[in-house]
Amino acid sequence: MRQTKIVLPDSEIPKQWYNIMADMPNLPEPPLHPGTKQPVGPDDLSAIFPMSLIEQEVSQERWIDIPEEILDVYSLWRPTPLFRAHRLEEALGTPAKIYYKNEGVSPAGSHKPNTAVPQAWYNKQAGIKRIASETGAGQWGSSLALANGFFGLDTTVYMVRVSYEQKPYRRVLMETWGATVHASPTKITNAGKKILELDPDSPGSLGIAISEAVEDAATHDDTNYALGSVLNHVLLHQTVIGLEAKKQFEIAGEYPDVVIGCCGGGSNLAGTGFPFLQDKIAGKQVIVRAVEPISCPTLTKGEFRYDFGDTVGMTPLLKMYTLGHDFVPPGIHAGGLRYHADAPLLCQLYHDGIIEAESYGQTAVFDAAILFAKTEGIIPAPESSHAIKGAIDEALRAKEEGKEKVIFFNLSGHGHFDLAAYADYIAGKLTDYEYPADKIKESLAKLPQI
Ligand SMILES: Cc1ncc(COP(=O)(O)O)c(C=O)c1O
């Protein structure tokens, strides 16, 4: 019988996270204070983050220990299996070997709990009572609600309105784990009110929801803020994915030629790819590639400049590939990929030519999702389906070239709460949005000059 999945025992859960800052040829430029435009210090961040996470944000230690209590929670679903996609390979008739890590097996259904759990735990240690955050697709909000629940913290989630309407059951999931959920923009924060004055029908965006959550945290002493992607410590926590995968590839007796991940803010791609980039920086041949939507093409069409992390301009300025902080992407079903920029670490690596990026339209991505569902059985999240599309195209190129490549992608989540998107696809109602060039140009013109 052929081997389909490689499963590690609990004892193989990584005991340390990998910090790529120890190995990067060029570190990202420092975050700047939104008012003074000077580099931010720990005190600027301490109103909304615990000091332990601020330390991780700036640490250049290669390995950071994972506390025992976090490992205990990780063991509820980690290590996640590495699958060989035999049936997909057969359907494509490719000589390539396709492997994928299934992060959809976590209780919330995605990779997001890998960082929600440590963020909740470090906040609990710091005496915080409540965490406010944003969510796009609902994956991050549900992961934070789950994690906070484990450690007895309250959760307030600002959920992007378009997702709130498309995914009512994600909201119920968050509420089941104890969170309070608002459709963003709301009328309860100044940031939300400001947006609604300009556009009462605003579909919302991750940038707007972040402004609301940051304002909530900054104006309440017992409340902190948590971000589900972009920041260095978030990417750090996600490296458990790639570290496990390396052990699993060792068992398989393989090493990937190409590592692929979808890219919203960059955390699952970074978590999957960074441990392989450690080898690449040391001289090994491996390609790490981001896949993003054509309608929100941050790496492939954005500009590498300082921009705010949120829409209103409350967060520090970060050096990122950005489409402009007030750019509101079309309401594609991959809500988690509708972010105007990407993680500074990932952007620096892209700028330095260490990672690659490509973009696809929504219909092509769903064609890939359906093929995956029919061959491998799992209904993928629309976000993860971008990585599937990238892997399929890579496998088809390998077929043309007659090469037996090893392709590895991260299945960042399942799509059980995304069935409205699948219903649209089946009914032939899925629309492809063009690359919104004019709106992006307009938005980029408003960026601060640094
Ligand atoms: C399933 C899934 N994959 C990917 C992403 C994109 O985030 P990131 O690029 O930080 O991994 C999201 C975001 O919500 C998601 O829900």
Give the chain's length: 450
pLDDT above 90 covers a percentage of the chain that reads: 90
Closest ligand 1 atom to residue 109 Cα is 1
pLDDT band at 338 (very low <50, low <70, confident <90, very high): confident
Interhelix angle 139-151/168-176, nearest 10 degrees: 10
Give me the chain's average pLDDT, please.
Answer: 96
The H or E element spanning position 279 is: helix 267-281
Quick one: pLDDT band at residue 436, thresholds 50, 70, 90?
confident
**pLDDT number for residue 205:** 84
Ligand 1 contacts CB of residue 293 (under 6 A):
no
pLDDT over 90 (residue 434): no
Tell me the per-residue pLDDT of 18-33, one tens digit each, with 9 for 90 and over: 999 999 999 999 999 9
The pLDDT score that the predictor gives to residue 17 is 99
- Poorest-pLDDT segment among 176-185, 255-264, 416-425: 416-425
pLDDT score at 207: 84
Nearest Cα residue to atom 1 of ligand 1:
413
Among protein residues, the one with the nearest Cα to ligand 1's atom 15 is 336
Among 229, 232, 388, say which to mutate for ligand 1: greatest number of ligand atoms within 8 Å of CB.
229
pLDDT band at 167 (very low <50, low <70, confident <90, very high): confident
Among 244, 276, 278, residue whose Cα is nearest residue 259: 276
219 and 47 Cβ atoms separated by less than 8 Å: no
- CB of 248 within 6 A of ligand 1: the answer is no
Q: Which pairing describes strands 130-135 and 154-160: parallel, antiparallel, or unpaired? A: parallel
Report the separation in Å between the CA atom of 143 and the middle of ligand 1, taken as the mean of its atom positions: 11
Q: What is the pLDDT of residue 97?
A: 98
Over residues 289-303, the mean pLDDT reads 96
Ligand 1 centroid – CA 48 distance (Å) = 23
Token digits for 196?
A: 């609604």
Window from 113-117, 241-245, 412-416, 432-436 with minimum mean pLDDT: 432-436
- The answer, yes or no, to whether any atom of ligand 1 lies below 6 A from the CB of 381, is yes
Tell me the three state secondary structure of residue 180.
Answer: strand
Q: For position 113, what pLDDT does the model report? A: 98
Residue 330 pLDDT exceeds 90? no
Answer whether 106 contacts ligand 1 (Cβ < 6 A). no
Tell me which residue has its CA closest to atom 7 in ligand 1: 264
- Which of 105, 267, 411 is the pocket-test mutation for ligand 1 (most atoms within 8 Å of CB)? 267
415 CB under 6 A from ligand 1? no
Say whether pLDDT at 335 is over 90. Answer: no
User: Residue 162's pLDDT is what?
Assistant: 87
Pocket test for ligand 1, best of 158, 160, 412 (most atoms within 8 A of CB): 412
Residue 222 has pLDDT above 80, yes or no: yes
Q: Is the CB of 139 under 6 A from ligand 1?
A: yes
**What is the distance in A from the centroid of ligand 1 to the CA of 412?**
7
Rounded to the nearest whole angstrom, what is the distance from the C-alpha of residue 264 to the centroid of ligand 1?
A: 6
Q: Is 384 in the pocket of ligand 1 (CB under 6 A)?
A: yes
- CB of 142 within 6 A of ligand 1: the answer is no
Residue of 100, 103, 112 to test ligand 1 pocket, by largest number of atoms within 8 Å of CB: 112
Residue nearest to atom 4 of ligand 1 (CA): 383
Predicted TM-score (pTM) of this structure = 0.97
Instruction: Please compute the mean of the pLDDT values over residues 260-264 and round it to a whole number.
Output: 98
DSSP track, 281-321: HTT---EEEEEEETTS-HHHH-EEEEEESSSSS-SPEEEEE
Which pLDDT tens digit goes with each residue over 93-141? 999 999 999 999 999 999 999 999 999 999 999 999 999 999 987 999 9
Average pLDDT over residues 256-269: 98
Residue 353 — left, alpha, or beta (φ > 0 → left; ψ -120 to 50 → alpha)?
A: left
When pLDDT is cut at 50, 70 and 90, the band that residue 419 belongs to is very high
**Cβ of 104 below 6 Å from ligand 1:** no
pLDDT at 367: 98
Ligand 1 pocket member 257 (CB < 6 A): no
- At residue 297, the pLDDT reads 95
Query: CB–CB of 178/145 below 8 Å?
Result: yes
Q: In angstroms, rounded to a whole number, what is the distance separating the alpha carbons of residues 179 and 171?
A: 9
**Alpha-carbon radius of gyration of the chain:** 20
- Least confident range from 47-61, 189-203, 343-357, 424-438: namely 424-438
Residue among 110, 144, 170, 388 whose CB has most ligand 1 atoms within 8 A, to mutate? 110
- Burial, 427: exposed, middle or buried (Cβ in 10 Å; 0-12, 13-18, 19+)? exposed
Percent of the chain exceeding pLDDT 70 equals: 100
- More confident position, 420 or 106: 106
Contact 263, 340 (CB under 8 A): no
Q: Is the CB of 133 under 6 A from ligand 1?
A: no
Instruction: Classify 415 in phi/psi space as left (phi over 0), alpha (psi -120 to 50) or beta.
Output: alpha
Kindly state if the Cβ of 263 falls inside 6 Å of ligand 1. Answer: yes
pLDDT of residue 34: 93
Q: Is it the case that residue 71 has pLDDT exceeding 90?
A: yes
